[in-house]
Every structure is written in structure tokens, then in C-alpha cells.
């Protein structure tokens, strides 16, 4: 038997994608009962809170932009009046 480098034989030992998915499911040694899986159900009140949060962020950005532009405008008027 001749000895081959790892890079020469590495591809031969890699399982197919289907086999890898099967191995992932059968060889779960750290989470047997899917305790740490992401849940797909969210409470009903989360969506309205997300909408209100988005509206608050947009309103806040608009107000801050308006304040900044007003301050820049009036400071320019003050500087030009000197």
C-alpha cells in the first residue's frame, strides 16, 4: 500500500450532501430532543410592536433631520448676517 497525502484522498472520504444531512439528523449528540431549535411561532402582539417600532424610528429620523436642517439654515443666516 502506498501512502498518499491527505489532499489527494480527502475528496474520496467526503459523504454526499444527502448523506451529510442524514448524518446530521442521526448523529445529534448535543441536542437529542431539539431543545435548542428555533421556534417558528411568535406571539400575536409582536407584529404590532414591530410596526410601531418602525414608525417610531422613521418619525424620529425625520424629526432629527428637520431639526438639523433648520439649525444649519439658521446658523448660515446668522453667519451671513455678520
Average pLDDT over residues 40-51: 90
pLDDT of residue 22: 83
| Phi, psi angle pair for 36, to nearest 5° | -105, 15
Do 15 and 23 touch, CB atoms closer than 8 A? yes
Banded model confidence at residue 4, pLDDT cuts 50, 70, 90 = low
Identify the three-state secondary structure at position 30.
coil
Do 10 and 16 touch, CB atoms closer than 8 A? no
- Name the pTM for this structure: 0.48
How many angstroms from the chain centroid is the CA of residue 49?
19
Amino acid at each position: 500500500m502506498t501512502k498518499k497525502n491527505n489532499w489527494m484522498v480527502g475528496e474520496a472520504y467526503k459523504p454526499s450532501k444527502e448523506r451529510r444531512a442524514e448524518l446530521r439528523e442521526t448523529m445529534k449528540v448535543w441536542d437529542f430532543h431539539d431543545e435548542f431549535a428555533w421556534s417558528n411561532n411568535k406571539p400575536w402582539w409582536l407584529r404590532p410592536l414591530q410596526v410601531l417600532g418602525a414608525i417610531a424610528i422613521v418619525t424620529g429620523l425625520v424629526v432629527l433631520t428637520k431639526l438639523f436642517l433648520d439649525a444649519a439654515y439658521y446658523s448660515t443666516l446668522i453667519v451671513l448676517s455678520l
